[in-house]
Amino acid sequence: MPLALLALAIGAFGIGTTEFVVMGLLPQVAADFGVTIPAAGLLVTGYAVGVVLGAPLMTALGTRIDRKRMLMLLMVLFTAGNLLSALAPGMAVMLAGRIVASLAHGAFFGIGAVVAAELVAPDRKAGAIATMFTGLTVANIVGVPLGTWIGQSAGWRATFALVAALGLVAVLGIARLVPALPRPEGAHLRRELAAFRNAQVVLAMGMTVLGFGGVFAAITYIAPLMTEVAGYPAGALTWLLVLLGVGMFLGNLLGGRFADRHLMPMLFATLGGLTVVLAAFTVTAHHPVAAAATLLLVGALGFATVPPLQKRVLDQAHGAPTLASAVNIGAFNLGNALAALLAGAAIDAGLGYTAPAWVGALMAAGALLLALLSAALERRAPAARVPVPAH
């Protein structure tokens, strides 16, 4: 794999840290601003909505800029947003900082995935995408637990200041390691938008929304679930988040390994497994060891879907993949926002901290149904093109 993928992974590490670290800090942020934990959950929802809106917007603005320069500009925006969050005097300003940082998220991963795929041979594209997303999973092993520990020890503001510094490191890494790839000939917004007329692209994005949304429904409120239901002390959240990150790391490698050869079967297996494991979480959450094991499986199955879903979009939007790739990253976060809202509503309705796992199971089951529909349509399409013999 080219060294340039390391620079993309560094950016992914910073983005992954800021996206997920807030979940372990929700109780501290809520107490500092004098709001409820579900209200503080808006920091998760707001970030996700910003990704959804920012992915197409920033990608469209970048159609006239070479990809390396655009990746650097996106990380500068990301750094500014995290610095604003670190200095926020109130909930509204912190939410604004989260949204500013989130605007870079979708376009960075979308453009980065296209760049990663272009740097390798056709039969290694999913592996290259998985390598870039390794930064995101390593963030959950190192960045998120470390950020959670720093937030609990020195205050959550120190965590976001650290993330801002990571953003600057990513800018330097991209400047040094990523080659100056020329802008593709004929690349313009109208051609990129044409990819969305393909029903398979839309179905893949639907799988993304529901599938990864199912994961987020369970992990958005992981702090109260593991402390109030499983009975862990608050200090255990650090190693529990490491465990979640290890699952994500292993799942991402697994997804990248098999997606190039068995893409749809991989999606069937992971989405089906995710549905079962999330439903089981409502029971295992009451037992500390079983809860930890289930958390590992949720991370593994959830991130095993990422490389195949991203490659599915790139394959179906061939010829104009940049905007579709970025919008699919937005679709991940649309699922995150929807899941956080539904999970928070379930908690507010008095259904308890295990209710988000039920929400996640239902979303994952919906993604599996879309995957089956996509495969059925794909099997019918070649048959429809076979000429009928004349009699």
User: What are 289's two structure tokens?
Assistant: 């060891």
Residue 134: predicted pLDDT: 78
Kindly list the averaged pLDDT for each block of 10 residues, start to end, along the chain of length 391: 80 88 84 83 83 80 78 92 92 92 86 77 71 77 84 90 90 84 60 68 86 85 85 83 85 79 85 93 91 92 85 72 72 80 86 88 93 86 46 41
Rounded Cα distance, 60 and 72, in Å: 16
User: What are 190's two structure tokens?
Assistant: 């109208």
**Burial of residue 323 (number of CB atoms within 10 Å: 0-12, 13-18, 19+):** buried
Residue pLDDT, tens place only, 1-42: 577 788 888 888 999 898 878 877 888 888 888 888 778 888
Residue type, 345: A
Chain-centroid distance, C-alpha 26: 19
First to last CA, the chain: 55
104 contacts 75 by C-beta, under 8 angstroms: yes
Rama region for 354: left / alpha / beta (φ>0; ψ in -120 to 50; rest):
alpha
The number of C-alpha atoms within 13 Å of 108 and in the hemisphere containing its C-beta is 33
261 three-class SS: coil
* Number of C-beta neighbours around residue 391 at 10 A: 3
User: What are 363's two structure tokens?
Assistant: 């979303």
Residue 122: predicted pLDDT: 67
Burial 256-285 (b: 16+ CB within 10 A, else e): bbbbbeebeebbebbbbbbbebbbbbbebb
Among the listed residues 9, 80, 79, 84, the one whose alpha carbon sits nearest the alpha carbon of residue 43: 84
Among the listed residues 362, 359, 375, 366, the one whose alpha carbon sits nearest the alpha carbon of residue 308: 375
CA distances for 252 relative to 66, 132, 179, 208, 301, angstroms: 28, 10, 25, 15, 9
pTM of the model: 0.71
Rounded Cα distance, 148 and 239, in Å: 10
Residue type, 130: A
2 contacts 120 by C-beta, under 8 angstroms: yes
Residue pLDDT, tens place only, 242-264: 888 888 888 888 887 777 777 88
Rounded Cα distance, 380 and 286, in Å: 45
Q: How many residues does the chain have?
A: 391
Concatenated DSSP letters of 206-219: HHHHHHHHHHHHHH
* Number of C-beta neighbours around residue 179 at 10 A: 14
18 contacts 160 by C-beta, under 8 angstroms: yes
User: Which residue matches tokens 């909505």?
Assistant: 49
Residue 386: predicted pLDDT: 39
User: What are 187's two structure tokens?
Assistant: 């690349």
Q: Any idea what the Cα angle at residue 212 is, between residues 210 and 218, rounded to 5°? A: 100
Residue 280: predicted pLDDT: 93
Among the listed residues 163, 167, 137, the one whose alpha carbon sits nearest the alpha carbon of residue 151: 163
Among the listed residues 67, 113, 85, the one whose alpha carbon sits nearest the alpha carbon of residue 17: 85
303 contacts 219 by C-beta, under 8 angstroms: no
119 three-class SS: coil
Using H for helix, E for strand and C for coil, what is the string for 168-208?
A: HHHHHHHHHHCCCCCCCCCCCHHHHHHHHHCHHHHHHHHHH
User: What are 210's two structure tokens?
Assistant: 């529901």
